[in-house]
């Protein structure tokens, strides 16, 4: 798990996979992803976040808000998958503080297609 740079339809995407991570590892990944996005030295980052099969804690939400303030200015478009139930409410809360909201999708493929258009 972690962050990796993938190609989809000729576009480079930062793929941030929280899939199945424990809470402490999720906090580490938030920080790692922000550093990777900043290191890319671009304001055109396409980002795909997968929070499937993991538990979103209040600490994760708070750190995500803080780190989003740093990384989202460098992000052109942001997609997220794995959002259902309570996570939908949390996403709305996070998006309320974000200059560029994360758009939810049901599948990774749908999200990648949207990012690449």
- Phi/psi of residue 63, nearest 5 degrees: -65, -35
In this structure, the number of other CB atoms found within 10 A of the CB of residue 102 comes to 24
> What pLDDT, on the 0 to 100 scale, is given for residue 73?
86
From first to last of the 117 residues of the chain, give the pLDDT tens digit.
589 999 999 999 999 999 889 999 999 999 999 999 999 999 899 999 998 888 888 999 889 889 988 988 899 999 989 887 656 666 666 666 666 777 888 899 999 999 999
> What pLDDT, on the 0 to 100 scale, is given for residue 99?
63
Domains and CATH numbers, the chain: 2-110 (3.30.750)
């Amino acid at each position: 798990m972690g962050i990796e740079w993938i190609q989809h339809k000729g576009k480079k995407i930062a793929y941030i996979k929280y899939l199945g991570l424990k809470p402490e590892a999720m906090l580490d990944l938030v920080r790692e992803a922000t550093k990777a996005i900043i290191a890319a030295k671009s304001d055109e980052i396409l980002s795909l976040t997968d929070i499937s099969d993991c538990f979103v804690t209040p600490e994760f939400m708070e750190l995500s808000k803080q780190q989003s303030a740093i990384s989202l200015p460098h992000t052109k478009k942001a997609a997220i998958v794995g959002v259902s139930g309570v996570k939908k409410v949390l996403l709305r809360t996070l998006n309320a503080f974000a200059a560029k909201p994360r758009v939810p999708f049901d599948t990774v493929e749908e999200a990648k297609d949207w990012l690449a258009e």
